[in-house]
Amino acid sequence: MYSKIRTRAGDALILTALINEIKPLFEKTVASLNHQESEEDLLCWIYDVFSDDFEDEYGHYSEEYLRKFALCVLNARHYLIRDKEEFCNVFNNESLDLKIGYDGGFYPSGIGHWIDVQEFVVLEA
């Protein structure tokens, strides 16, 4: 089952199991996330998710949990990203323990998926 995230540029469907898993951290960070109004803001915010400062502010989470969280955020905020392929290239050039791709939704490159092949589906208007 999917949860529908309504956005300015269409909807994002994310597996409800993933939403339920990352919900506690999302609720802690939503105020900060809502201040991200551009592709560059979002990119920097996602990088910060993997930083010590993020851990100091929001608590310790496993790398796997943070990867799931980051992918859910990227798919929910897809409308901020103009060129998704270029965004993936820029993102993947950083030294993070997460590489991403885009094929109808952002996904964890190399892993493919955690629960189901179509965990993330972006329906652009």
For position 125, what pLDDT does the model report? 44
pTM assigned to the model: 0.85
For position 120, what pLDDT does the model report? 60
Give me the helix-helix angle, 63-76 and 16-33, nearest 10°: 80
Query: Taking the chain, what is the end-to-end CA distance rounded to the nearest angstrom?
Result: 22
Identity at 100, one-letter amino acid code? I
Helix (H) or strand (E) holding 15: strand 10-15
Evaluate the CA torsion angle 118, 85, 6, 114 in order and state its sign.
Answer: positive
What whole-number distance in Å separates Cα of residue 63 and Cα of residue 120? Answer: 19
**pLDDT at 119 exceeding the cut of 50:** yes
Could you state, in order of their start, the residue ranges of all structural domains in the chain?
Answer: 2-124
Nearest to 81 by CA among 89, 32, 119: 89
